[in-house]
Structure 1
Amino acid sequence: MSVEIKKVEKFHHPKGLWLACMGMCASSYLKYAVSGIAIFFYTYQIKEGGLGLSETDAGKLISLTVSIGALVPVLGSIITERWLGIQKALLLSFFFQGVAYLFFYMFTPNVPLVLVGIFINIFASAFLNNNLSAIVGLLYSNKDHSRKDAAYGFFYMAVNIGSFFGPIIGGLITDKWMAVKNSAGEIVTYGYKYAYLMVSIGMFITCFIFYILAPKWLKEVGKYPEGKKTKKMNDNATAVVKEKLTDTDKRRIVAMIIIFVFATMYWAAYFQTSYRLLIQSMQWQTSM
C-alpha cells in the first residue's frame, strides 16, 4: 500500500459509517414522526382517526411498550452476537418495523390487530439502535480513538437531524395534508394512519438501500456473528471457536444490567410524563 493511500485512509472515514448514519437518521426521522402523536392516536375517537382508548389504558400501553422496548435490545444483542450477525439483524429490524407500521395503517381502528403491530415493532426494535451503534465501532480498530470519536459525533448528529425533521413532517401529515376538514376548516378526521403509512414505506426503503449498499460499503464488517470466530488448524482446515467471557466482560455485563434497569424506569416515567403533558395541552386547547 502506498503512502498516499495510507494518508487518504487516515484522514477519511469508511463508507460504512455513512451507511450507519443514513440508517440511524432515517430510523430517528421515521420513529419521531409518530412518537409524538401516539397518545392522540390511541385516545381520539374512531371518527376522529384514533383508536378510541381511554387515557388510562393508553398511558398503560405506552408505559408498557416503552419499558419492554428498553429491555429487548439486550436479548436482540445476544441473538445477533450468537446467530445472526449485525448486517442480517439490521435488515430484519428494518423489514419488520415496516411490517409493524403497515399494521397501523391497514387495520386502524381494529385494536387487537394494531396491538399485533405494536408487538412486532417491539420485536424489531431489539435489533436496531444497538446494532447501528455497534457497527460504527467495528469499522475502526481499538487504537484508532480519534477517528472513532469523530465517527460517533457524525452518528449522533444523524440522530438529531432525523429526530428534528420527523415530528414536523409527521404533524403536517396528520393535521394538514391528510386531515379531513369540514366547510369551516375544522379538522374532522386526523390523518394518523397516513403518518404510519409514511413510516412503513420509509422503513422498507431503508431496508432496501441497506440491502444493496451493505455488501459494498460494510463488506465483512458485521456480516457474521461476532461471538463465533474461525481458527486455522494444522491441516489448513478451520474450526469455529466460541469465545469465553473474561472476568472484565462479566463485570461490564453486570454494570450494563444495572444501567438498563434504571434506564427502563427513567424512560417509562419520561414518556408517561410527556404524554400526560400532551393530553393536558389538548384539554386546555379544547376548553378555550
Structure 2
Amino acid sequence: MAGDVGSRVQERTIFGHPRGIVTLFLTEMWERFSFYGLRAILYFFLIATAAGGGLGLPKPTATAVVGVYGALVYLLALPGGWIADRILGARRAVLTGGVIIMLGHICMALPIRGAALIWLGLGLIVVGTGLLKPNISTMVGQLYPEGENARRDAGFSIFYLGINLGAFAAPYVVSNLAKDGRWHLGFGAAAVGMAIGLTQYILGSRHLRGVGETPGHRLTPKERRHFGLIALTGLLAATLAVVVWAATGTLTVDRFTVALTVLTIVVPVGYFAYILLGSHNLTADERLKMKAYIWLFVAAAIFWMIYDLAPTVLNEFAAEKTDLRIFGHPITAATTQSFNPLLIMIFVPVFAVLWVRLGDRVGAAQKFAFGLFMIGVSFVVMAIAAALAQSGRISVWWLFLVYLIQVFGELSLSPVGLSVTVELAPHAFRSQMLGVWYLSFAVGDAIGGQTARLLRYVSEPVYFLTLAAIAIAAAAVLIGFSHRLRVLMGER
C-alpha cells in the first residue's frame, strides 16, 4: 500500500501529470521541429538550379513531390500502428522510427551532388514518421489509467502544444541556416533536432512506467511467417514494377508522383469498400454511421487539399510576391510557415470553450462545413492578394490574414474530425479508424500537390478562386445535407 502511495505521489510531480508526459512532449516537439524544418525549405530546394545547390525540378513537379511526400507520411501511419501493435510495441516503434528519420535527414545533409541521397533520405523520413507519429500518440493515452479522462485530455493538450512549438520554431531556424544555397546545413539542423529528441527519449524512458513496452496483440510465430511473406512479396512486386517501368524509359519523377497520387486515392476507397461490403458483424446502425462518415472524409480531404499547399504554393508566393518584413525586420519566405502554429496555439483554447458552449446545437457536419467555408474564404483572399501582387510586391500581412482564416477552419474541422471518427467507428474497426482519418490528410495532400499544374494554364488569381469555389461548394453541399447526416450519425 505504501509503495502504491509513493508511486502515485511520484506520478503527480509534474503539474499533476505522469513524468513521462515530459519525455513524450519533448520527443514530439523535436520530431516536429525536424519535420516542419525540412518541409519549410524542401520546395525551394527542389526548384533551385544545380548551380544553386538544388535539384532543378519544374515548379509543378516540385509541388507534386512535396504533396506526395506529405501524403505518404500519413499513409504509412496505418502500417506503422499495426507494426507496433503486432511486432515491436509502441516504445520500440517510436525509437526505431526516430532513428530512421534521423538517418533520412543525415542522407539529405551530406554535401554530395546528385538526387540519389535526397530521394533515399525522403523515403527514410516517410518510413520513420509512419512508425513514430501514430505510436507516440498512443503512448500519451496509455500513460493515464482508465477513468481519468479529464487528465488524459489535459495531457493531450500539453502534447499538442509540443507539436506546435516545434512547428513554430523550425521554419525560422532551418530556413535561416539554409539561406544562400546552404541547403545541406538546413537539412543537418533537422537531423540534429531529431537526434536531440531521441537522446532525451532514451534518457527519459524510465519515466514511461512500462507504457508501450510490449505489443498489444503480438503475432504468433506462424502469423509472423505469414505476414513476413506477404510483406516481402509486396515489396518485391513493387520494386519489380518500378524497375520494369524504368526499363521502358518512361519513368520520370513527374509520372511517379501521379502514380503515387492514384495509389493514395485507391487505398481509402478500397478500405471503405472492405468495411461496407463485408459482413464484419456490423449492425445496421454502424453501417449508416459509416456512410455518413464517408461524407465527412471527403470534406476533410478537400480541406487538406487546400490547407497543405502552405509549404509550396503559398511559400513561393511569399518568396516572389511579398515584402518579407515584419515590423521592419527582414524574414525568410519560409518563416511565414511559422504563422500557422503560432495562431493555433493562440486560438485552441478559444475554440475549445466555443464548442463546449455550443454543445449539441451544432453538429459535426455543420462544423466541417464551416471549416470548408473558411478554407475557401482564405483562398478568395489569396486571389485578391495575387491580383494586387501583379503590380508589385505586397505586404506579408496578407499571408498572415490567410493563415489566420485557415486556422479558424482547421480548429473547426481537425479536432472535430478526430472526435467524430472515434464516435462513428464500428466496434470491429475501432482501433483502426484513427488511421483511416489520417488517410484524409494523405488524399488531400496528394491531390493538392497535383493542382499546381493548373498554373500552366490559368493565372494565380483564377487558380486560387477555382480552389476556393470547390471548397465553398463542398461546404454548401454539407450544409444542405447536414440534417440528414445528423440523423445518420445519431446526433440529437
TM-score of the pair, normalised by structure 2: 0.47
* 2:72 corresponds to 1:81: no
User: Cα offset for 1:40?
Assistant: 0.5
Please report the RMSD computed on the Cα atoms of aligned residues, expressed in angstroms: 3.1
Structure 2: distance between partners of 1:199 and 1:8 = 34
User: Cα offset for 1:281?
Assistant: 3.2
Gap change, CA 1:206 and 1:260, over 3 Å in 2: farther
- SS of corresponding position for 1:166: helix
Structure 2: distance between partners of 1:19 and 1:8 = 15
- SS of corresponding position for 2:210: coil
Gap change, CA 1:14 and 1:281, over 3 Å in 2: closer
Which sections of structure 2, spanning at least 5 residues, go unmatched? Answer: 220-279, 324-391, 394-492
The Cα offsets for residues 143-183 of structure 1, whole Å up to 9 and x where unpaired, read as 011211111111111112111111121122122xxxxxxxx
- SS of corresponding position for 2:197: helix
Gap change, CA 1:64 and 1:8, over 3 Å in 2: closer
Match of 2:208 among 215, 218, 235: 218
Structure 2: distance between partners of 1:279 and 1:118 = 21
Structure 2: distance between partners of 1:209 and 1:273 = 31
Structure 2: distance between partners of 1:246 and 1:219 = 36
Gap change, CA 1:14 and 1:95, over 3 Å in 2: same
* 2:32 corresponds to 1:32: no
User: Cα offset for 1:278?
Assistant: 2.1
Residue 143 of structure 2 corresponds to 139
Gap change, CA 1:265 and 1:115, over 3 Å in 2: farther
The AA in structure 2 aligned to 1:223 is E
Residue 267 of structure 1 corresponds to 304
Gap change, CA 1:9 and 1:97, over 3 Å in 2: closer
User: Cα offset for 1:273?
Assistant: 5.5
The Cα offsets for residues 101-126 of structure 1, whole Å up to 9 and x where unpaired, read as 11111155412331111111111111
Match of 2:155 among 136, 151, 154: 151
Structure 1: distance between partners of 2:218 and 2:297 = 25
Match of 1:65 among 48, 53, 69: 69
Deviates more, 1:82-91 or 1:219-228: 219-228
Residue 92 of structure 1 corresponds to 96
Structure 1: distance between partners of 2:196 and 2:314 = 34
Residue 199 of structure 1 corresponds to 190
User: Cα offset for 1:283?
Assistant: 2.9
User: Cα offset for 1:269?
Assistant: 3.9
Deviates more, 1:82-91 or 1:109-118: 109-118
- Name the one with the larger helix percent: 2
Gap change, CA 1:40 and 1:134, over 3 Å in 2: same
Gap change, CA 1:246 and 1:154, over 3 Å in 2: farther
Gap change, CA 1:27 and 1:261, over 3 Å in 2: farther
Gap change, CA 1:270 and 1:7, over 3 Å in 2: same
* 2:212 corresponds to 1:208: no
User: Cα offset for 1:67?
Assistant: 1.6
Structure 2: distance between partners of 1:112 and 1:152 = 38
Residue 115 of structure 1 corresponds to 119
Structure 2: distance between partners of 1:273 and 1:199 = 19
* 2:13 corresponds to 1:13: no
Residue 316 of structure 2 corresponds to 279
**1:17/1:151 contact within 8 Å kept:** yes
Map 1:164-243 onto structure 2 (within 5 A): 164-175=168-179, 189-214=180-205, 216-228=206-218
- SS of corresponding position for 1:50: coil
User: Cα offset for 1:193?
Assistant: 1.1
Gap change, CA 1:105 and 1:265, over 3 Å in 2: farther
Structure 2: distance between partners of 1:70 and 1:260 = 14
The AA in structure 2 aligned to 1:35 is R
* 2:130 corresponds to 1:129: no
Match of 1:51 among 26, 46, 55: 55
The AA in structure 1 aligned to 2:202 is Y
The Cα offsets for residues 29-59 of structure 1, whole Å up to 9 and x where unpaired, read as 2222221111111101122232211102101
Structure 1: distance between partners of 2:153 and 2:297 = 23
- SS of corresponding position for 2:308: helix
User: Cα offset for 1:199?
Assistant: 1.1
The AA in structure 2 aligned to 1:221 is V
User: Cα offset for 1:268?
Assistant: 4.4
Structure 1: distance between partners of 2:216 and 2:156 = 21
Gap change, CA 1:246 and 1:155, over 3 Å in 2: farther
User: Cα offset for 1:225?
Assistant: 0.3
The AA in structure 1 aligned to 2:195 is F
User: Cα offset for 1:260?
Assistant: 6.8
- SS of corresponding position for 2:57: coil
Gap change, CA 1:105 and 1:155, over 3 Å in 2: same
**2:46/2:62 contact within 8 Å kept:** yes
Which sections of structure 1, spanning at least 5 residues, go unmatched? Answer: 176-188, 230-244
